[in-house]
Amino acid sequence: MSEQFLRVQGLHKAFGGVTAVSDVTFEARLGQIVAVIGPNGAGKTTLFNMLSGVLSPDRGEIWLRGHRLDGLPAHRITSHGVARTFQNVQLFANMTVLENVMMGRYRHERNGLVRSALGLTRREEQETESEARRTLKRVGLADKADLPAPSLPLGEQRLLELARALAAKPCLLLLDEPTAGLNRVETVRLAATITRMPANDRTVLLVEHDMNLVMSVADWVVVLNYGEKLAEGRPEQVQNDPRVLEAYLGGDGSNLLAGTGKASM
């Protein structure tokens, strides 16, 4: 957990006269779960869009495992091991649950998506399917493999999107509000899945409004406010920071004072 893995330095993005992200700097170590929190409009999704190549920063640097990523197109950033889920679930509606996860795996095939379009060899197809089934089992969807993806309830669709991202074997996984629209039971299930994801070769960045989940799963928390980094630290440090309570909750820290242990979910 001591290796510097991701370094974001002075990242800045403005739209016209409105600054969405202002000179944000932070680091993440290998194996960490890092939560990015803040009020609506704080710049969290814009930050994720820059990290994943959806947007190019106006200035600043993004370094992942010693490679500079800022300004690269999304497909190049993906090739460096970055995968992402979105606030709004984006599945392949005309495919089964299993086929959706297999699509996430194709980046690792010999010729990537080009080869998938031309048709995999039988051996490659079998290996891809076996890996996809293992990933579905990991998120608790093994028994839903042959169902149409849109037939799943929202909570399971989010788990499926997560499984598809994991199938790409990312070293950096970006989760953008993964519990949006979920009930409490679904949120607890997703939280358990998230805590099992970091490993010796993966870091998770999480944007989330559910403070119970953030305080339960995060190793480190970065707080944004009006596009600027307001604070960062361990969950117990952030939840007691007066600046965070004032900016994020208007001084009422009740929703931020949930338990910080990962078992508290």
What pLDDT does 36 receive? 96
Under the banding of pLDDT at 50, 70 and 90, the label for residue 52 is: very high
Mean pLDDT of 233-261: 71
pLDDT above 70 as % of the chain: 85
Under the banding of pLDDT at 50, 70 and 90, the label for residue 40 is: confident
Mean pLDDT of 36-47: 92
- On average, the pLDDT of the chain sits at 85
Concatenated DSSP letters for the chain?
Answer: --SEEEEEEEEEEEETTEEEEEEEEEEEETT-EEEEE-STTSSHHHHHHHHTTSS--SEEEEEETTEE-TT--HHHHHHTTEEEE-SS----TTSBHHHHHHHHHGGGSTTHHHHHHH---HHHHHHHHHHHHHHHHHTT-GGGTTSBGGGS-HHHHHHHHHHHHHHT--SEEEEESTTTT--HHHHHHHHHHHHT--BTTBEEEEE-S-HHHHHHH-SEEEEEETTEEEEEE-HHHHTT-HHHHHHHHTT--GGG-S--SGGG-
What pLDDT does 182 receive? 83
Of the candidate ranges 4-8, 58-62, 84-88, 143-147, the one whose mean pLDDT is the lowest: 84-88
| Domain architecture of the chain: domains with CATH | 1-81+170-265 (3.40.50.300), 91-169 (no CATH)
Q: Is the pLDDT of residue 260 over 60?
A: no
In tens, the pLDDT along 104-115 reads: 876 545 444 434
Q: Is the pLDDT of residue 198 over 60?
A: yes
What pLDDT does 107 receive? 57
